[in-house]
Amino acid sequence: MCGICCSVSFSIEHFSKELKEDLLHNLRRRGPNSSRQLLKSAVNYQCLFSGHVLHLRGVLTIQPVEDEHGNVFLWNGEVFNGVKVEAEDNDTQVMFNSLSACKNESEILLLFSKVQGPWSFIYYQASSHHLWFGRDFFGRRSLLWQFSNLGKSFCLSSVGTQVYGVADQWQEV
């Protein structure tokens, strides 16, 4: 399983260019083969993407993956069917290529409705400033979210951290 995370802030004064150390530690444990962070900024928000890969199939694809249009993709999963993945292919790259070929929201939804296997993902669509995320119907790959700073930031992650005395800090998507 990979460790994927996206921290979004709508307030410059509350934005941190680094994840909290305990969250980063938990993410690294999920992906020992590579780790990388990527910062995307716009006028109204900033996103910090963090990917930690456990390499299983095909060529190692370091995450987060970014294309020439500024789209960013994080994937934690395995494609068993629904989208063609050859034995030498990497699921992350195949899914990102498939997403890049989508022309509208309906095609993105259709793509994920076809994927069979355990998965969760985070996809930043730069042209529309949309952040897509989700997981398979059965929830076989974790994806959590946390809201903080009075609605000025939120975080999506495949792992969470526990702060003693604070209830319901991380919740399942």
| Residues facing 41 on adjacent strands | 46
pTM of the model: 0.92
Mean pLDDT across the stretch 120-145?
94
Q: Say which amino acid occupies 22.
A: D
- Tell me if residue 2 is catalytic: yes
pLDDT higher than 80, residue 15: no
Q: Please tell me the predicted confidence (pLDDT) of residue 108.
A: 96
Q: Please tell me the predicted confidence (pLDDT) of residue 55.
A: 85
Q: Please tell me the predicted confidence (pLDDT) of residue 116.
A: 96
**What value, to the nearest 5°, has the Cα angle with vertex 75 and ends 42 and 96?**
75
Q: Please tell me the predicted confidence (pLDDT) of residue 133.
A: 97
Mean pLDDT across the stretch 23-46?
89
| Residue in 12, 70, 13 with CA at minimum distance from that of residue 46 | 12
DSSP state of 104: S
Per-residue pLDDT reduced to its tens digit, 60-106: 899 999 999 999 999 999 999 999 999 889 999 999 999 999 999 99
Catalytic residue among 2, 5, 6, 47: 2
Whole-angstrom distance, CA of residue 122 vs CA of residue 141:
12
